[in-house]
A and B are shown apart, each in its own frame.
Chain A
Amino acid sequence: MSAPRLPHHSIAVRRALILAALAFIGFFLVLPLVAVFAEALAKGFATYGAALVEPDAISAIKLTLLVAAISVPLNVVFGLCAAWAIAKFDFRGRSVLVTLIDLPFSVSPVVAGLVYVLLFGAQGWMGPWLIEHGVRIIFAVPGIVLATILVTFPFVARELIPLMQEQGRADEEAALALGASGFKTFIRVTLPNIRWGLLYGVLLCNARAMGEFGAVSVVSGHLRGLTNTMPLHVEILYNEYNFVAAFAVASLLALLALVTLVLKTSLEWKFGYSHGSAR
């Protein structure tokens, strides 16, 4: 993306446009990020640290890690299966399938949470049966995991599908023709080919899984210490006017976002990997 020479733009116009864009990015992207850390440290490092080691904060951090540890691998397995089926075979209705996989991106997170309440909640279809058998899904961890899987559903699949389609089938066919088993072909040939795309998808999927708010908020029930993920804990602290603690927990999530951005950007720079835009 090197800038082409532009003889017809006066330097003044160019400078004004750059300044306007910088001001816009500064106001809308940089300033909120700085505000998170400034508010978190407003009363010093001791208060900041105390907010992070408080038992409810610890259990929120643990729950967030647990939810991501379950939902991200499941999405990886799904993404690999979907991409294999769609990229390596010809069948009718492929674009319909791709559209259906994309569907969760366009559903409001609140609606994504609600559908599970309607299925598994006390007033839901399976509610009475679940209560009878002592299974809790809504207002419990399984509901949070389900809602997280739904909102992160397309992330890995849609990184892998175009990538594997572009790579074609010749490598796999060669390995198979030389006598490798299907599984070995996948591990030795396909996986190395798609590893950066897979990592890219996992990064984005994980960031969303750990940060999801709306869908999880609907199914969680906000039980402190039990069903509160980090974003929900931030909300509770904030609504209690405990701003420093709220921003302290939020700063951890902001750090996660920064790490995600750094890794994602270095993948793009080093391997020229980018989701479609420059590939």
Chain B
Amino acid sequence: MEIALSSQLQMQAAIERPQRCRRSRKSIIPGFGLTMGFTLAWLSLIVLIPLSALFLRAAGLGWSEFLTVGFSERAMAAYRISFGTALAAAALNGVFGLLTAWVFVRYEFPGKRLLNAMVDLPFALPTAVAGIALTALYSPNGWVGQFLAPLGIKVAYTPLGIVIALIFIGLPFIVRSVEPVLADVRVDVEDAALSLGARPWQVFVRVILPAILPALLTGFALALARGIGEYGSVIFIAGNMPFKSEIAPLLIVTELEQYNYAAATAIATVMLLASFAMLLVINLIQAWTRRKVDS
């Protein structure tokens, strides 16, 4: 999901374009059988068969066992923590990511291009590296943690730490989603609203926000989806206490290490269904965006 939504939007727009002139001539370009065959075979081998194996294995558990191990108290607590922290991080990113995108699109300041390039750092930096770096910063004697500790704020080894890690991971999704759309918002419409007596905040809420809302929602959903499944950056800073700061992906690993294949399978199935649901939501938002753009 690394690559921003706009490319997905364009991809789908591009896919739909040629279909309108479908009845066109037969292509003289060779290689359809070969490339299509390889694509389908490789896709099945690497993605489709392994993922169906998970569902089949879960189906083999039977309903009652699936519900018992997949929704045990510990699993429920893990889902709550995973979804809750991902939601909080995506919401905070929604605010600060929008602010960042706004500043990049609307203002000039020294070092802007460099900082803009830095926004993609979470896509390029391995998650484990991000995890230990954030833990070092926010642990009670770390660079940031030492100032928070006297205030009674514990970040590392608490759910707050998970939120911090997920803010890092999710930031580029929001910024890269909003930036191109914000750049397209016409300034003359804002000027018109202002000259008609609207206050700046009214212009933002009534003119700018509606225009960028689909992009903001998509970025939010992408960040949320990534946050729910995130593992590497979280486990170092989380503390991993069952019922308190244990995320669902970590619980899968723990169950697997104890040879509890049934529990690992059931929890993983729930997580996979959740990511399919997120994928569906993202596609719906984009379909809505396209309709809005077309009309």
Chain A residues within CB distance 8 Å of chain B: 1, 3-9, 13-14, 17-18, 20-22, 24-25, 27-33, 35-36, 39, 77-78, 80-82, 84-86, 88-91, 94-95, 97-111, 114-119, 123, 125, 146, 149-150, 153, 155, 158-159, 161-162, 165-166, 169, 172-173, 176-177, 182, 185-186, 204, 207-208, 210-214, 217-218, 230-232, 234-235, 238, 243, 246-247, 250, 253-254, 256-258, 260-262, 264-265, 269, 275-279
- CB proximity to A under 8 Å, residues B124-178: 124-130, 132-134, 136-137, 143-144, 164, 167-168, 171, 176
A-B contact pairs, 29 of them (CB 8 A): A1-B183, A3-B105, A6-B106, A14-B107, A27-B144, A29-B121, A32-B133, A33-B125, A80-B35, A81-B42, A82-B35, A88-B32, A89-B29, A90-B27, A102-B1, A103-B47, A104-B47, A107-B229, A108-B230, A108-B249, A111-B249, A111-B272, A114-B265, A155-B2, A172-B29, A250-B132, A264-B120, A269-B113, A275-B7
Chain B residues within CB distance 8 Å of chain A: 1-4, 6-12, 14-19, 22, 24, 27-32, 34-36, 38-39, 42-43, 46-51, 53-54, 57, 96, 99-100, 102-109, 113, 115, 117-130, 132-134, 136-137, 143-144, 164, 167-168, 171, 176, 179-180, 183, 187, 190-191, 194, 200, 203, 225, 228-232, 236, 249-250, 252-253, 256, 259, 261, 264-265, 268, 271-272, 275-276, 278-279, 283
B47 and A100 within 8 A (CB): yes
Known: A110-B268, A158-B7. A8 touches B133 (CB 8 A): no
What are the residues of chain A within 8 A of B15 when measuring CB–CB? 86, 94-95, 98, 165
What are the residues of chain B within 8 A of A277 when measuring CB–CB? 4, 6-7, 176, 179-180
Task: Return the chain B residue nearest A42 by Cβ.
Answer: B136
A100 and B48 within 8 A (CB): yes
Sample of 15 further A-B pairs with CB below 8 A, known A21-B100, A111-B54:
A4-B106, A22-B103, A32-B134, A35-B137, A78-B38, A85-B32, A88-B27, A153-B46, A161-B11, A211-B124, A238-B132, A247-B132, A253-B128, A260-B124, A279-B10
Known: A98-B12, A115-B50, A146-B46. A275 touches B3 (CB 8 A): yes
A116 to B47, CA, bound (A): 10
What are the residues of chain B within 8 A of A33 when measuring CB–CB? 121, 125, 133
Most buried by B among A30, A84, A155: A84
